[in-house]
Amino acid sequence: MRENFTETLDFLRSKFPTLPKAGIILGSGLGNFSSRIEGPIEIPYSEIPNFPQSTVEGHSGTLIFGTLKNIPVVAMSGRFHFYEGYEMDKVTFPVRVLKLLGIDFLVISNAAGGLNPSFQVGDLMIIQDHIDLFPYNPLRGKNEDDFGVRFPDMSEPFDMALRKKALEIAVKNNILAHSGVYAGVQGPKLETRAEMRYLRIIGADAVGMSTVPEVIVARHMDLPVIAVSAITNLCIPQEKQHFSHDGVVDAAQKAEASLSKLVEELLQS
């Protein structure tokens, strides 16, 4: 594994020697955000040693270096999911790479189903906490002491100062952004009505199939994280509706302008 990281880092540093200050993970339907990055250097995942390949529609599979509001950044346009068949070390490999490249904090976006009855499609939710319902933990196995401690504290997985600033930016720009709890499930099937009720009972405001493994690994490496969900469908048992991934992508694209504004101003601040 150490040899893999060395090979990947050497390759990426040869392409972009400037240290990025922030890392950004773009979720389903949010790939157009990358067009805001100035002077982009785009590297397909297929060219990066040891990187998995994204297989999901709406995830282009490109690592993008450049600047955003004069701040050097690196963005993942497309992420990897447990349901694609990857083991957790592969799902989270890029997060460790971004940290080792030198980022100071990580911004994660995702498309999520809204469980809270007050949510509407197109709203944003700044994640204040999460519930891990994945069958495996990415830290399972021998601990890499160079990366972090054996038992990392997860009582505050999402950076409080970053969350507070993001909410202030949302208010200033008239962006409807809730604060809530995200439940991470393995997927890829969507939830039954009974599962929706269960998730709401245990305290979740939104549900998705990503983010939680990435956050755990980031916190293991003491990397501050903020994560924002675009609510792309309503997971409310009382409402009869048909879900599809195409609908999720379309709704995420509609929320993209608000999310992009939020992330840009957060980086500037």
Residue 35 assigned ligand-binding role:
no
Length of the chain: 269
Q: Would you call 269 a catalytic residue per the annotation?
A: no
Which of the residues 111, 170, 218, 255 is marked catalytic? 111
* Pairs from 36-41 (Cβ < 8 Å, separation ≥ 24): 36/68, 36/260, 36/264, 37/64, 37/66, 37/67, 37/68, 37/73, 37/75, 38/66, 38/67, 38/68, 39/66, 39/67, 40/64, 40/65, 40/66, 41/15, 41/16, 41/65, 41/66
Please return the burial class of 146, using the count of CB atoms within 10 Å of its CB with bins 0-12, 13-18 and 19+.
exposed
Which of the residues 59, 130, 178, 220 is marked catalytic? 59
Which of the residues 77, 210, 258, 260 is marked catalytic? 210
Which of the residues 22, 81, 112, 265 is marked catalytic? 81
Q: Would you call 178 a catalytic residue per the annotation?
A: no
Q: Would you call 245 a catalytic residue per the annotation?
A: yes
Residue 81 assigned ligand-binding role:
yes
Nearest partner of 185 among 195, 176, 177, judged by Cα: 195
Residue 111 assigned ligand-binding role:
yes
Return d(Cα 176, Cα 260) in angstroms, integer: 13
Q: Would you call 28 a catalytic residue per the annotation?
A: yes
Q: Would you call 88 a catalytic residue per the annotation?
A: no
Q: Would you call 81 a catalytic residue per the annotation?
A: yes
Return d(Cα 62, Cα 56) in angstroms, integer: 13
Which of the residues 84, 214, 256, 265 is marked catalytic? 84
Residue 156 assigned ligand-binding role:
no
Return d(Cα 23, Cα 4) in angstroms, integer: 20
Residue 233 assigned ligand-binding role:
yes
Q: Would you call 60 a catalytic residue per the annotation?
A: no
Residue 80 assigned ligand-binding role:
yes
Q: Would you call 77 a catalytic residue per the annotation?
A: no
Residue 260 assigned ligand-binding role:
no
Which of the residues 125, 170, 209, 252 is marked catalytic? 209
Which of the residues 34, 233, 258, 260 is marked catalytic? 233
Q: Would you call 59 a catalytic residue per the annotation?
A: yes
Q: Would you call 111 a catalytic residue per the annotation?
A: yes
Annotated binding site for a purine D-ribonucleoside: 191, 233
Give the residue ranges of the annotated binding site for phosphate.
28, 59, 79-81, 111, 210
Output the known binding site: 28, 59, 79-81, 111, 191, 210, 233
Catalytic residues: 28, 59, 81, 83-84, 111, 209-210, 233, 245
